[in-house]
Amino acid sequence: MPRSSGEREFHFTRGHFDQIAALLQQLTGITLASHKVEMVYSRLARRLRDLNLPDFDAYCAFLSSQQGENEIGLLVNALTTNLTRFYREPHHFEHLAKVVLPHVRECQAKVTTKPRLRIWSAGCSSGEEPYTIAMTVLSTLPEINRWDARILATDIDTHMVETARRGIYAADNATAIPAAIRDRHTSVQQQGSRTMLAMSDGLRRLITFKPLNLLEDWPMRGPFDAIFCRNVLIYFDRHGRSQVIGKFHQLLAAGGHLYLGHSESLYGVSDQFEQVGPTSYQAIS
C-alpha cells in the first residue's frame, strides 16, 4: 500500500500531476484541482503496480506511447469519482413523483399514440440513481408497462457502467430503499458471507446503460422529460458546464426538469432554466 506523502512508494512530482491533469482535461473536460494531488497519486500508484512500472516517469511515457492506448480508459476510470447511493438527495425523487410524472401522465393522456416517458441519468456511476428513478416511476405510474418508457443511464467510467448493468448491491448499502419498495423490486442473494440485493427484471427493463463522455458527441435525440446530472458538473470548468447545460436544454421537452447535485448551481452558467426547488430546475422554452 502507498506510504505516507513523505514516504511514497513512487516518486511523484507536481510535473507528473500537471501532465496527468492536462491529459484528463483534454480527454474528459474534468478539471483536477491542485488539492487532488494525493488522490491522483494513491489511485494511479495501483496502476503502476499492476503494470510493474518503476516510477511515474515511466507511467507518463507509457500513456504517450502506442502501447499505452488501452491504459487511457483505465486512467479515466481510476480518476473519476463515483460516490452514490440509493435515494440520495430524496427531494429530487419526491419532486419527480409529485410533480414531473403526474404532469407527463396528464399530457400523455391527450395523445392518441402510446404514452411516452424518457428520463436520463447522466453520470449514473454504479447505478443506484437510475434504479431509484425506476423505483419511483413504477411506484408512481403502476400502468407504466403500457407506456413507451425508457430510462437512459450513462457514465464515462466503463467499469461503473458494467457494475450498474449487473444491478447487484450489498444489502447494507441499500437500507435507504423503503421496505415495501425493496420487497417488491429486489431479491436477496448470498455471495459467500455477503448478503446482496439484486434489482428486479421490472427495473432492468426500464433502464438502458451506456458509456458516454458528456463533452463528446451525444447519440441521443430526446426529448427527455427529466434529466438527472448530479455531482458531475463540479468536475468541469465554466466552459464545459455551459456547454453541457446548453445541450441539456436542447434535449429537454418543453417544461422538462433538470436535477443537479447539492453543491451545484446554474447561477452564472445558464439563463435557460427557472429554479423550482433545491437544485431542481425547469427548462424555459
Question: pLDDT per residue over 156-172, tens digit each?
Answer: 989 999 999 999 999 99
CATH classification of the domain holding 256 = 3.40.50.150
**Within a domain: 85:** no
Active-site positions read 43, 155
Look up the CATH number of the domain holding residue 35: 1.10.155.10
Grid coordinates representing 15?
510535473
User: pLDDT tier at 69 (50, 70, 90 boundaries)?
Assistant: confident
Distance CA 31, CA 138 (A): 37
Query: Do residues 34 and 104 share a domain?
Result: no
The answer to whether residue 1 scores a pLDDT higher than 50 is no
The range of the structural domain enclosing residue 59 comes to 5-79
Q: In Å, how far are 95, 113, 137, 140 from 150, measured between CA atoms? A: 19, 16, 10, 15
Are 110 and 194 within one domain? yes
Mark 56-70 as b/e (b = at least 16 C-beta within 10 Å). Answer: beebbebbeeeebee
Q: Do 61 and 136 fall within a single domain?
A: no
Q: Is the peptide bond before 223 cis (omega within 30 degrees of 0)?
A: yes
Q: Domain total for the chain? A: 2
Can you give the pLDDT at residue 74? 82
Could you tell me if residue 185 is inside a domain?
A: yes
In the three-class reduction of DSSP (H, G, I as helix; E, B as strand; rest coil), residue 120 is classed as strand
Q: Are 252 and 258 spatial neighbours (Cβ–Cβ below 8 Å)?
A: yes
Is 157 found in the same domain as 255?
yes
Answer yes or no: do 149 and 168 share one domain. Answer: yes
Q: In a 3-state reduction of DSSP, which class is residue 280?
A: strand
In a domain, 257, yes or no: yes
**Threshold 0.85, pTM exceeds:** no
The pLDDT mean for the chain works out to 91
- Which residues line the annotated binding site? 82, 84, 88, 129, 155, 213-214, 230-231
Please state at what angle helix 14-28 crosses helix 37-51, rounded to 10 degrees.
90
Please give the average per-residue pLDDT across 111-117, as a whole number: 90
Instruction: Decide if pLDDT at 56 tops 70.
Output: yes
Same domain for 119 and 28 = no
Whether the pLDDT of residue 76 is over 90: the answer is no
Domain end position, chosen among 54, 79, 104: 79
* Cα separation, 147 vs 134, whole angstroms: 13
Q: What cell numbers appear for 93 in the block?
A: 425523487
5 confidence band (pLDDT: 50, 70, 90) = very low
- Greater confidence, 97 or 234? 97
Q: What is the mean pLDDT of residues 129-142?
A: 97
Considering the domain architecture, whether residues 211 and 111 belong to the same structural domain is answered as yes
Strand arrangement, sheet containing 116-122: 207-211, 148-155, 116-122, 224-229, 252-260, 280-283, 273-277
Is the same domain home to 185 and 105? yes
**pLDDT, position 3:** 44
Q: Which of 40, 56, 79 is the last residue of a domain?
A: 79
Check whether 4 has a pLDDT greater than 60: no
Query: Does the structure show a pLDDT above 50 at 27?
Result: yes
Q: What's the whole-number mean pLDDT along residues 6-31?
A: 85
Domain co-membership, 44 together with 21: yes
Total residue count of the chain as it appears in this document: 285
Asked whether residue 140 falls in the same domain as residue 169, the answer is yes
- What are the DSSP calls for 143-173, one per residue? TGGGSEEEEEEEES-HHHHHHHHHTEEEGGG
Q: Which of 50, 79, 108 is the last residue of a domain?
A: 79
Share of the chain above pLDDT 90, in %: 68
Pair (238, 161) in one structural domain:
yes
The confidence score (pLDDT) of residue 6 equals 53
Q: Residue 84 domain-assigned?
A: no
Considering the domain boundaries, does residue 250 fall inside one? Answer: yes
Cα end-to-end distance, the chain, whole Å = 53
33 and 169 in one domain? no
